[in-house]
């Protein structure tokens, strides 16, 4: 933790809104103020972990309005994940910070004389094979799976080509999700209601090519056809 600013007693630090929409300075603070900053430390998440002790459910959906392969995965911890290749293909903007500073936040920071916040280090993600990779950034996208629709802040990282979006245990806990393999469904809270997402039925087994129908002629019918001048192929 480091000291980034210090203000003496009586220094006006805050403003109050006026009726015309402007702001007026308030009285100075009755005590001295010190502002400290605790730099963020890199986070380590796990994504697409091994098959042991995990539940997974694949669903077709849309991310940023584009058809996407989505995976609900209890083995993915910490956040929602988005494929870097999918972002590049669709043209999704990847940011270096989870959520950019708003105009209001910047205005308040500048009024207090504070420096711009340092960019948090990108998290490290552990893949199923134990390899640790650094995230490429963050993306805010709309996600739609059947009747579920929500805007999510995702970590962008190089993923397998099997899925474009992964919803991990943080999402499962927040949505109070229940996965049922008996019904092949995922029920979750969506505001004041609960909705049920259905996995697609398994693809039918490829049918064997139909055999040609073979017509058999008796000896008598064959002789009769030859006498009438029929040509046999």
pLDDT per residue over 66-116, tens digit each? 999 998 888 787 678 999 999 999 999 998 876 666 778 777 777 777 776
Predicted confidence at residue 50, as pLDDT, reads 45
Q: Which of 86, 59, 54, 47 has its CA nearest to residue 148? A: 59
Highest mean pLDDT of the ranges 32-46, 112-126, 147-161: 147-161
> pLDDT tens digit string along 1-23?
678 888 888 888 888 888 888 88
Classify 19 as helix, strand or coil. Answer: coil
pLDDT at residue 40, rounded to an integer: 61
Percent of the chain with pLDDT over 90: 22
Q: What sign results for the dihedral spanned by CA atoms 207, 211, 212, 216? A: negative
Higher pLDDT, 197 or 116: 197
Q: Which of residues 125 and 63 earns the better pLDDT score?
A: 63
| Summary mean pLDDT of the chain | 78
In the structure encoding, which two tokens stand for residue 53, read together?
């002790």
CA distances from 223 to 16, 123, 144 (A): 111, 86, 70
User: pTM to 2 decimals?
Assistant: 0.59
Q: What is the mean pLDDT of residues 27-41?
A: 79
């Amino acid at each position: 933790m480091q000291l980034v600013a210090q203000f003496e007693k009586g220094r006006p630090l805050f403003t109050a809104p006026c009726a015309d929409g402007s702001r007026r300075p308030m009285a100075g603070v009755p005590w001295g103020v010190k502002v400290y900053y605790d730099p963020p430390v890199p986070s380590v998440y796990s994504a697409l972990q091994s098959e042991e002790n995990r539940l997974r459910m694949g669903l077709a959906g849309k991310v940023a309005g584009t058809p996407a392969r989505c995976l609900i995965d209890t083995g993915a911890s910490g956040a929602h994940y988005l494929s870097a290749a999918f972002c590049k293909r669709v043209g999704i903007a990847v940011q270096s910070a989870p959520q950019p500073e708003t105009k209001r936040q910047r205005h308040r920071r500048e009024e207090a004389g504070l420096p711009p916040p340092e960019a948090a280090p990108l998290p490290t993600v552990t893949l199923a094979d134990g390899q640790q990779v650094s995230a490429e950034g963050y993306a805010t996208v709309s996600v739609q799976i059947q009747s579920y629709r929500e805007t999510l802040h995702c970590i962008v990282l190089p993923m397998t080509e099997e899925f474009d979006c992964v919803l991990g245990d943080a999402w499962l806990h927040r949505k109070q999700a229940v996965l049922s393999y008996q019904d092949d469904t995922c029920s979750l809270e969506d505001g004041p209601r609960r909705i049920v997402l259905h996995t697609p039925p398994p693809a039918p087994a490829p049918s064997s090519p139909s055999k040609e129908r073979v017509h058999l002629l008796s000896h008598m019918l064959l002789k009769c056809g030859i006498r009438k001048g029929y040509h046999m192929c």
